[in-house]
Amino acid sequence: MNYREPLFRPPAEAESLIFQVAYGCPHNTCRFCAMYKYSRYEEREYDEVLADFKKAAKSYPETQRIFLADGDVMILPFEKLQKYLMKLNDLFPRLTRVNVYANGSSILSKTKEQLCELRQLKLHTLYLGLETGDEELLKLVNKGETAEKMIDAVRISQECGLRCSVMVLLGLGGKKGSGKHALETAMALNKMQPKLLSALRYVEVPGTKMFSGYETVSEYEAVCELRKIIENLELERTVFRANHASNPVPMEGRFPNDKARILAELDYLIARGGLDRNGPGQLPFFL
């Protein structure tokens, strides 16, 4: 397969067959994200993508999981998505799920009937970056989405049987905005009730440019912020993970059963005194 770099996928898609149906991100304005900063958005031609599907079907006919890239595949017109999914179903008889990155407004550009139809065609998990439930902060970081819309998008998708994997970003509000970011994020998540929730941490890398007055939270503050989010979550059935390389400590569990255990682990970490209070702590070399 010929991929155009950079190519990103969620950690859970490590075993999936990946096709790029577009290159880059159609929005590309978020201050905290450098993923596609140096690439121009381009939707690929249908025939070109179809040729990739056919070629891969010859080499990997047993494929069950497919991830369609790049940055916001749900922005494609319904008819094009439908055609891609129909082809994938034809070419890969053992296909069980097709997963994509999605934004709130691109999900809401489809009707509920269309979302249900895409689900019938094995569209399965939508990875959506809520980042924060704080509407003011979403504007400050140029997300181009409102929390209210993203809540609607997740609720409607899940009503159609799609699974939403929602990401939030620790440290996004900086030192001053940390408390509000944590509380409003928990409130938005409670309204969404996502099936999957991931906490990542904002880390400054080339290509990111935060709003004026932004001060990076320390490792200690990031963990306290995560504690505040967890404490305020009232999730009925969600798998939670904070095991991305950007996190100070890897953790995971299921809500509601593991909430008390996760809080206890965070309390232990905070009380133990080993967290960096002046900087971000030890970060992996690639961040």
Binding site for ligand SF4 (CB under 6 A): 25, 27-28, 30, 33, 35-36, 71-72, 103, 129
**Would you state the structure tokens that stand for residue 212, as one six-digit string?**
């004026």
Q: Are 228 and 240 in contact (CB under 8 A)?
A: no
* Residue 239 bridge partners (DSSP): 196, 254
Residue 116 Cβ, how far from ligand SF4 at the closest point, in Å? Answer: 25
* Residue 127 bridge partners (DSSP): 101, 165
Nearer to ligand SF4, 145 or 184 (CB): 145
Residue 106 Cβ, how far from ligand SF4 at the closest point, in Å? Answer: 9
Could you give the C-alpha distances from 207 to 32, 54, 61, 173, 282, in angstroms and in order?
8, 36, 39, 18, 21
Residue 36 Cβ, how far from ligand SF4 at the closest point, in Å? Answer: 6
Task: Report how far Cα 167 is from the mean position of its chain's Cα atoms.
Answer: 4
Nearer to ligand SF4, 117 or 148 (CB): 148
Nearer to ligand SF4, 35 or 118 (CB): 35
Residue 101 Cβ, how far from ligand SF4 at the closest point, in Å? Answer: 7
Could you give the C-alpha distances from 26 to 35, 167, 214, in angstroms and in order?
12, 19, 26
Helix (H) or strand (E) holding 11: none
Q: What's the distance, Cα to Cα, between the start and end of the chain in Å? A: 27
Residue 276 Cβ, how far from ligand SF4 at the closest point, in Å? Answer: 26
Nearer to ligand SF4, 28 or 185 (CB): 28
Residue 159 Cβ, how far from ligand SF4 at the closest point, in Å? Answer: 24
Q: Are 29 and 142 in contact (CB under 8 A)?
A: yes
Nearer to ligand SF4, 27 or 110 (CB): 27
**Would you state the structure tokens that stand for residue 8, as one six-digit string?**
């990103």
Q: Which of 95, 108, 106, 94 is nearest to 70 (CA)?
A: 106
Beta-strand ranges (E) seen in 171-248 are 196-201, 238-242
Nearer to ligand SF4, 129 or 173 (CB): 129
